[in-house]
């Protein structure tokens, strides 16, 4: 059981065109893509090779999507795990899962390792009981030592996501580890409109639907919320045997989300 594979590895077909907005973040990540596409060229020029990148932002804002899109753009293998999966009831499992993940990614270079919810293992050490024998600490120590073990020519980029950068152990942020931050903000209305466009690409909309109006009427909503809104609107239309999704369906979907009735269903991440 403890030896079970806990990460997923895949080739990704998501690209930046599937990620609406987030232009600055994409710009910062282009360098990573360039590197992964042709690591040798990058090394010859003597560019500083990106190793560890932390994506920071609220839940549902597209951090996972963006990391997948970097892998898709570069055409490299994507190894991902949610940090909460590192830690289970079996002592010692977390550290061995970290080892396993890194050794697999090293065999598949160039590759990306993506660790979601980094804060689940990355909280400051010594904050709890356990006195250094704590399972989570062992896992974190293993992660730190794997990252230190990279030689500069190892063609693996580690990306991680968190919405709690403030609780991370400072050791994680030292040079050579997660020394670059890419900040992801909640979308403004223009980006919300772009997100709605992406998620209605395959949905027939009636002529009365103006996505800009919906975007302006959904302040605070994230990409995940908006994806949920579109899905909910389509469900409402289908229930009424409509062949297109109209403004009223989307408005009702929005009300439902804002009232919180099905919020737990809509924001699934
Ligand atoms: P969490 O921190 O909860 O893991 P996250 O920031 O990783 O959240 P994602 O899982 O990437 O968020 O986003 C959830 C879903 O919301 C995505 O699969 C995508 O469908 C949609 N989404 C979020 N942001 C965007 C965006 N900028 N463009 C298009 N779709 C988006």
State how far the Cα of 241 lies from the Cα of 139, in Å rounded to an integer. Answer: 52
160 lines ligand 1 (CB under 6 A): no
Span 201-256, pLDDT tens digits: 999 999 999 999 999 999 999 999 999 999 999 999 999 999 999 999 999 999 99
Pocket test for ligand 1, best of 62, 220, 264 (most atoms within 8 A of CB): 62
Tell me the pTM. Answer: 0.89
Residue nearest ligand 1's atom 30 by CA: 223
ipTM of model? 0.96
State how far the Cα of 69 lies from the Cα of 252, in Å rounded to an integer. Answer: 32
182 Cα–ligand 1 center, Å: 15
pLDDT at 263: 46
Span 172-188, pLDDT tens digits: 999 889 999 999 999 99
Residue nearest ligand 1's atom 1 by CA: 59
Give me the residues paired with residue 111 across strands. 77, 156
Q: Is the peptide bond before 208 cis (omega within 30 degrees of 0)?
A: no
Do residues 158 and 53 lie in contact, with contact meaning Cβ atoms separated by under 8 Å? yes
Residue nearest ligand 1's atom 9 by CA: 62
Pocket test for ligand 1, best of 22, 55, 58, 64 (most atoms within 8 A of CB): 64
Determine how β-strand 8-11 pairs with β-strand 77-82.
Answer: antiparallel
- Known binding residue 60? Answer is yes
């Amino acid at each position: 059981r403890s030896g079970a594979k806990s990460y997923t590895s895949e080739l990704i077909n998501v690209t930046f065109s599937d990620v609406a907005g987030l232009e600055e973040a994409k710009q910062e990540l282009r360098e990573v893509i360039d590197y992964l596409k042709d690591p040798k060229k990058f090394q010859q020029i003597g560019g500083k090779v990106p190793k560890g990148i932390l994506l920071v932002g609220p839940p549902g804002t597209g951090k996972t999507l963006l990391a997948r899109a970097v892998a898709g753009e570069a055409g490299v293998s994507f190894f991902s795990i949610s940090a909460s999966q590192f830690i289970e009831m079996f002592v010692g499992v977390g550290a061995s899962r970290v080892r396993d993940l890194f050794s697999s990614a090293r065999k598949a270079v160039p590759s990306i390792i993506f660790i979601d919810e980094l804060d689940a293992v990355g909280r400051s050490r010594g904050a709890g009981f356990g006195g250094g024998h704590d399972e989570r600490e062992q896992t974190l120590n293993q992660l730190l030592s794997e990252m230190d073990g990279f030689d500069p020519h190892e063609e693996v980029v580690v990306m991680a996501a968190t919405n709690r950068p403030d609780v991370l152990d400072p050791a994680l942020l030292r040079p050579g580890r997660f020394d670059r931050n890419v900040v992801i903000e909640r979308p403004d209305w223009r980006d919300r409109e772009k997100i709605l466009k992406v998620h209605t690409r395959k949905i027939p909309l009636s002529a009365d639907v103006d996505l800009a109006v919906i975007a302006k009427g959904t302040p605070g909503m994230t990409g995940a919320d908006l994806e949920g809104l579109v899905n909910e609107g389509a469900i409402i239309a289908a229930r009424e045997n409509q062949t297109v999704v109209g403004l009223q369906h989307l408005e009702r979907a929005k009300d439902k989300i804002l009232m919180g009735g099905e919020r737990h269903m809509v924001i699934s991440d």
